[in-house]
């Protein structure tokens, strides 16, 4: 990594960035990593944060925070921080005095598999619609409020009233699971300048396609100079080795994000990196750049009911035969280029290129076909 300058006591006003610029550029980031307890709760023991200007590689702020530690471990952390020139805070002091002031100024929150770290720091969580959670990080007293969200019940989207806790001064975080390896996260705030939340694991997969999701594997794939170190004794007493490993993890994550950001900028798309959640996101960004109108916008005369029926007609069958407890030679049979093949055989390109589309209901004709069709046909 290039030589870095440390600037202590940075004035938060100096981090101002125009709203328009912030929508397309990421300039200031706060990278966070936590180490947790090894029980099923996996609550935060200690953590490290670093705030950087990723263009100049200037370190704005850095420090250690702690929660579930012994008195001896706390003394170790404070002595370590003093020797290294780091700030040290309790978890709640970090959240209220460092994290949120930066976030409210537009600093982007970055981490590798960051939903895990945010979950480890939260003091309350609740359901938020379909595959969604709301996480409250501060311990401020809040009056529970009821809001209406959309959720899925028996395959249908319905409105549902849920009770949430959200602090106005420290907005809660919405985390929505889009797939097993993809999340979207944002602060529940009306502040237009509030920072975004970015997961380097999600961005890395979107830019390079399916591959290893770990910080170490992605560091290798993006040819990072700094890569995750090996460490496996997470349940050990907090000592200098443990703290060194945790801080190196944040530096590896920052290096990965910078490499990802360089790769993202190579595409030259207007869509902000906060919207890049998958390979499809990049494809959509190119379509937008080329002026290609999304299908549903170009043909807004088609009813929702028709889209619903059309989506249900796509059926991906799968057949498996498993022989238990016996090694067996198999032949893996699968389609090559399945989606382009289906697209061609169903003449879907005609729909994509059509100037207009007209709906014609032919229920009687289809019913007649179903009644008359034979196996030989």
Q: Report pLDDT digits (tens) over 275-301.
A: 888 888 999 999 888 888 888 899 999
Q: Which of 7, 46, 42, 44 is nearest to 28 (CA)?
A: 7
pLDDT, tens digit (0-9, with 9 covering 90-100), for 321-342: 777 788 888 777 766 788 888 8
pLDDT attached to residue 95: 97
Q: Which domains does the chain have, with CATH numbers?
A: 12-284 (3.30.420.10), 295-372 (no CATH)
**Banded model confidence at residue 156, pLDDT cuts 50, 70, 90:** low
DSSP-derived 3-state class of residue 162: strand
Half-sphere exposure of 93 (CA within 13 A, CB side): 10
pLDDT at residue 34 in the model: 96
Site of tokens 């944060």? 49
The per-residue pLDDT for range 197-230, each reduced to its tens digit, is: 999 999 999 999 877 889 999 999 999 999 888 8
From 249, 258, 254, 111, select the one nearest 185 (Cα to Cα).
111
- Please say whether the beta carbons of 264 and 280 come within 8 A: no
pLDDT at 6 (0 to 100) = 37
In tens, the pLDDT along 255-276 reads 999 999 999 999 999 889 988 8
pLDDT band at 22 (very low <50, low <70, confident <90, very high): very low
For the cut 80, the answer to whether the pLDDT of residue 363 exceeds it is: yes
Alpha helices in 138-239 (DSSP H): 200-208, 215-221
Q: What is the mean pLDDT of residues 68-84?
A: 96
Instruction: Specify the pLDDT at position 114.
Output: 94
> d(Cα 212, Cα 197) in Å, to the nearest integer?
21
pLDDT, residue 24, reads 57
Instruction: Please tell me whether residue 83 adopts helix, strand or coil conformation.
Output: helix
Among candidates 218, 186, 206, which has minimal Cα distance to 108?
A: 186
Residue-wise pLDDT for 114-124, tens only, equals: 999 999 999 99
Q: Give the Cα separation of 170 and 139 in Å (integer).
A: 10
Phi, psi of 338 (to 5 degrees): -60, -45
pLDDT at 1 over 80: no
Task: Say how far apart CA 193 and CA 212 lie, in whole Å.
Answer: 34
Instruction: Kindly tell me if the per-residue pLDDT of 11 is higher than 60.
Output: no
pLDDT surpassing 60 at residue 23: no
CA distance 174 to 127: 10
Q: In whole numbers, what is the pLDDT of the chain averaged over residues? A: 86
**Which residue in 85, 45, 84, 49 sits closest to 68, CA to CA?**
45
Q: Which residues pair with 183 in a beta bridge?
A: 177
pTM exceeding 0.85 = no
Residues 6+ apart with CB under 8 A from 139: 92, 123
- For the stretch 129-142, pLDDT in tens is 777 889 999 999 98
pLDDT band, very low/low/confident/very high, at 4 (cuts 50, 70, 90): very low
Dihedral pair phi/psi, residue 13, rounded to 5°: -65, -25
How many secondary structure helices (H) and strands (E) does the chain include? Answer: 14, 12
The answer on pLDDT for 12 being more than 90 is no
Token pair, residue 371, equals 């009644």
Please, where are the H alpha helices in 183-320? 200-208, 215-221, 240-266, 279-290, 295-298, 304-312
Question: How much of the chain, in percent, has pLDDT values that exceed 90?
Answer: 53
Please tell me the predicted confidence (pLDDT) of residue 65.
98
pLDDT of 17 above 80: no
Q: Residue 5: is its pLDDT beyond 50?
A: no
Q: The dihedral of CA 339, 345, 346, 349: what is its sign?
A: positive
Mean pLDDT computed over 140-155? 76
Instruction: Name residue, tokens 């196996």.
Output: 375
CB atoms within 10 A of CB 100: 20
The helix (run of H) or strand (run of E) holding residue 371 is helix 363-372
Polymer length of the chain: 377
Query: In sequence order, what are the residues at sequence separation of 6 or more whose Cβ sits closer than 8 angstroms to the Cβ of residue 74?
Result: 66
Burial 261-292 (b: 16+ CB within 10 A, else e): beebeeeebebebbbbbbeebbebbeeeeeee
């Amino acid at each position: 990594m290039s030589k870095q300058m440390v600037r202590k006591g940075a004035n938060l006003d100096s981090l101002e960035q125009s709203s328009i610029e912030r929508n397309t550029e990421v300039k200031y980031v706060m990278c966070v990593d936590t180490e947790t307890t090894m029980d099923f709760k996996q609550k935060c023991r200690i953590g490290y944060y670093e705030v950087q200007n990723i263009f100049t590689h200037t370190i704005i702020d850095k420090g250690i925070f702690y929660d579930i530690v012994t008195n001896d471990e706390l003394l170790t952390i404070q002595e370590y921080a003093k020797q290294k020139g780091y700030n040290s805070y309790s978890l709640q002091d970090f959240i209220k005095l460092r994290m949120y002031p930066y976030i409210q100024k537009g600093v982007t929150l970055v981490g590798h598999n960051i939903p895990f770290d945010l979950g480890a720091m939260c003091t309350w969580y609740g359901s938020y619609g379909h595959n969604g959670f709301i996480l409250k990080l501060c311990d401020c007293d809040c009056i529970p409020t009821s809001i209406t969200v959309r959720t899925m019940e028996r395959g249908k989207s319905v409105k549902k009233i849920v009770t949430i806790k959200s602090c106005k001064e420290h907005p809660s975080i919405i985390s929505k699971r889009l797939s097993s390896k993809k999340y979207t996260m944002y602060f529940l705030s009306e502040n237009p300048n509030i920072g975004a939340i970015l997961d380097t694991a999600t961005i890395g997969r979107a830019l390079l396609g399916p591959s290893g999701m770990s910080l170490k594997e992605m560091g290798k794939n993006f040819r990072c100079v700094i890569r995750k170190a090996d460490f496996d004794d997470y349940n050990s007493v907090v000592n200098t080795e443990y703290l060194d490993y945790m801080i190196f993890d944040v530096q590896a994550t920052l290096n990965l994000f910078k490499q990802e950001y360089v790769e993202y900028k190579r595409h030259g798309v207007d869509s902000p990196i906060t919207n890049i959640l998958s390979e499809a996101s990049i494809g959509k960004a190119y379509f937008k750049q080329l002026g290609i109108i999304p299908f549903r916008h170009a043909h807004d005369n088609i009813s929702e009911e028709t889209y619903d029926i059309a989506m249900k007609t796509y059926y991906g069958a799968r057949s498996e035969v498993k022989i238990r407890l016996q090694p067996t030679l198999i032949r893996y049979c699968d389609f090559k280029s399945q989606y382009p093949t289906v697209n061609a055989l169903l003449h879907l390109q005609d729909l994509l290129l059509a100037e207009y589309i007209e709906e014609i209901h032919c229920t009687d004709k289809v019913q007649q076909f179903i009644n008359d069709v034979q196996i030989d046909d």
